[in-house]
């Protein structure tokens, strides 16, 4: 049967097996690279094309369908007339798509898997799932809301209502166990202790103070330094310095006479007390020995009371001094008067209340007597006088003997 090759397609035209049978090729229908050839026209379009027994060019909705095999129920790939591209596994309805969703936007409604991700020319997620080249990350709707991190290393936490905080939770806990929170007064609080019994041991206050509400402890085991703000006793606050051998306690006694004390907490002995008491003869300092017995005190007048002996090194008394020098020294010391006072305080030689630093040497030379020198000079004088008395007794005894001989 003669075959008439068409130069244009009409509705209902079929590239039939007749053509295959006659020509064994369709080169006369499909142009080679140097030809131009029109298949169909604006009103008459090829919309069904069977290749390998499968309809490849189908309905107006999906003009292009790619099947893997004739038994495929759905095309492996199809392109809709809207530009939508869809894929299937051949048996089910196409379930993966890719399309233009708006101006300059390519979209899929399904998961997208890729080896790595580049944005605007830069890798932001590498094939090993490292993320970088990120300018900023924000969990809010703008760059400065929610939690934001920028590429300069700044982390910011924003809250539209209430004060932002960081909670630390352990798996299974329904409420926070520990929290760092910014307060409305711009302070920062550190809360611990678990839900229902939260404590705030540390507040970094807006005025720059670090405020501890509990004890401050350096090392929880001995050796330990512990600053206690309260105590069941009346002694507070107090500082404890502890090593395995001893615990020293420095603190304040809240009594009628506020007292600072140093205490041997291991043996429960006071070692030093500094008291505030302005009454006459009131003790100002009080020392205790290792057994807790009082050994020395200093009162408000400056009087020193010691329970033991007073020892000092020998004062420098000139070797050349004779009995007359001793007597002159003692007279000079005895002639010194008590320094004048006003309101219990010494008056300086310049008239000021309290002894000036620059006049202290002069003041002491005028008023202070040298106890140890007096003691030594007195002793030397006694020894000298005793020697002289012995010599006199010897002379008297000799004279008495001679007188008896003369009389006899």
Sort strands 178-182 and 165-168 into parallel, antiparallel or unpaired: antiparallel
Could you say which DSSP state residue 289 is in? -
Q: Compose the 300-339 pattern: x for residues touching Zn ion by CB under 5 A, - for all others.
A: ----------------------------------------
Q: Do 286 and 300 touch, CB atoms closer than 8 A?
A: no
Instruction: Report in angstroms how near the CB of residue 362 gets to Zn ion at its nearest.
Output: 8
Residue of 267, 263, 259 whose CA lies nearest to 248: 263
C-alpha to C-alpha distance for 364 and 358, rounded to whole angstroms: 12
Give CA torsion, residues 11, 16, 18, 23, to 10 deg: 100
Q: Do 148 and 138 touch, CB atoms closer than 8 A?
A: yes
Residue 100 or 352 having the CB closest to Zn ion: 352
C-alpha to C-alpha distance for 168 and 233, rounded to whole angstroms: 36
Q: Which region, judged by CB under 5 A, interacts with Zn ion, from 240-248, 346-354, 375-383, 397-405?
A: 346-354
Specify the DSSP element, H or E, that contains 400. Answer: helix 371-407
Instruction: Report in angstroms how near the CB of residue 351 gets to Zn ion at its nearest.
Output: 7
Q: Which region, judged by CB under 5 A, interacts with Zn ion, from 111-119, 159-167, 235-243, 358-366?
A: 358-366
Instruction: Report in angstroms how near the CB of residue 355 gets to Zn ion at its nearest.
Output: 7
Q: Compose the 359-378 pattern: x for residues touching Zn ion by CB under 5 A, - for all others.
A: x-------------------
Q: Which region, judged by CB under 5 A, interacts with Zn ion, from 27-35, 258-266, 268-276, 354-362?
A: 354-362
Instruction: Report in angstroms how near the CB of residue 304 gets to Zn ion at its nearest.
Output: 24
Residue 277 or 362 having the CB closest to Zn ion: 362
Q: Do 317 and 377 touch, CB atoms closer than 8 A?
A: yes
Instruction: Report in angstroms how near the CB of residue 348 gets to Zn ion at its nearest.
Output: 3
Cis-peptide, bond into residue 266, ω within 30° of zero:
no
C-alpha to C-alpha distance for 107 and 86, rounded to whole angstroms: 12
Q: Does 350 bind Zn ion (CB under 5 A)?
A: yes
Query: Other C-beta atoms within 10 Å of 288: how many?
Result: 20
Q: Which region, judged by CB under 5 A, interacts with Zn ion, from 28-36, 117-125, 238-246, 342-350?
A: 342-350
Residue 32 or 357 having the CB closest to Zn ion: 357
Could you say which DSSP state residue 359 is in? G
Task: Find the binder of Zn ion among 253, 275, 348, 377 (CB under 5 A).
Answer: 348
Instruction: Report in angstroms how near the CB of residue 338 gets to Zn ion at its nearest.
Output: 17
Q: Does 353 bind Zn ion (CB under 5 A)?
A: no
Task: Find the binder of Zn ion among 118, 356, 379, 399 (CB under 5 A).
Answer: 356
Residue where the block lists tokens 């609080």: 189
- List contacts with Zn ion (CB under 5 A): 348, 350, 352, 356, 359
């Amino acid at each position: 049967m003669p075959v008439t090759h068409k130069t244009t397609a009409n509705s209902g035209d079929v590239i039939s097996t007749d053509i295959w049978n006659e020509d064994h090729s369709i080169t006369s229908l499909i142009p080679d690279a140097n030809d131009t050839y029109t298949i169909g026209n604006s009103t008459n379009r090829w919309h069904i094309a069977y290749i390998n027994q499968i309809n490849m060019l189908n309905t107006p909705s999906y003009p292009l369908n790619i099947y893997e095999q004739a038994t495929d129920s759905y095309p492996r790939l199809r392109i809709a007339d809207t530009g939508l591209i869809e894929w299937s596994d051949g048996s089910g309805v196409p379930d993966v798509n890719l399309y233009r969703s708006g101006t300059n936007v390519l979209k899929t409604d399904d998961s997208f898997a890729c080896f790595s991700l580049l944005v605007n020319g830069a890798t932001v997620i590498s094939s090993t799932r490292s993320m970088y080249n990120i300018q900023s990350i924000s969990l809010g709707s703008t760059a400065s809301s929610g939690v934001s991190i920028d590429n300069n290393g700044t982390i910011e936490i924003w809250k539209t209502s209430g004060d932002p905080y960081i909670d630390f939770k352990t798996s299974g806990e329904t409420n926070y166990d520990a929290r760092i929170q910014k307060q409305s007064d711009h302070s920062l609080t550190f809360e611990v202790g678990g839900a229902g019994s939260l404590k705030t041991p540390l507040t970094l206050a807006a005025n720059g103070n670090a405020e501890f509400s509990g004890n401050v402890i350096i090392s929880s085991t001995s050796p330990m330094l512990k600053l206690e703000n309260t105590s069941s006793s009346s002694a507070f606050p107090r500082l404890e310095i502890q090593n395995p051998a001893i615990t020293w306690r420095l603190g304040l006694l809240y009594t009628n006479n506020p007292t600072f004390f140093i205490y041997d907490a291991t043996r429960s002995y006071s070692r030093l007390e500094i008291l505030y008491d302005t009454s006459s003869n009131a003790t100002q300092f009080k020392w205790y020995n290792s057994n807790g017995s009082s050994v020395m005190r200093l009162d408000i007048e400056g009087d020193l009371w010691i329970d033991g002996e007073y020892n000092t090194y020998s004062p420098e008394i000139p070797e050349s001094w004779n009995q007359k020098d001793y007597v002159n020294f003692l007279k000079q010391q005895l002639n010194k008067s008590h320094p004048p006072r006003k309101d219990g305080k010494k008056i300086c030689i310049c008239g000021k209340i309290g002894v000036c630093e620059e006049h202290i040497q002069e003041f002491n030379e005028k008023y202070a007597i040298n106890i140890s020198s007096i003691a030594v000079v007195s002793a030397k004088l006694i020894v000298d006088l005793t020697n002289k008395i012995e010599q006199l007794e010897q002379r008297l005894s000799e004279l008495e003997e001679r007188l008896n001989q003369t009389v006899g």
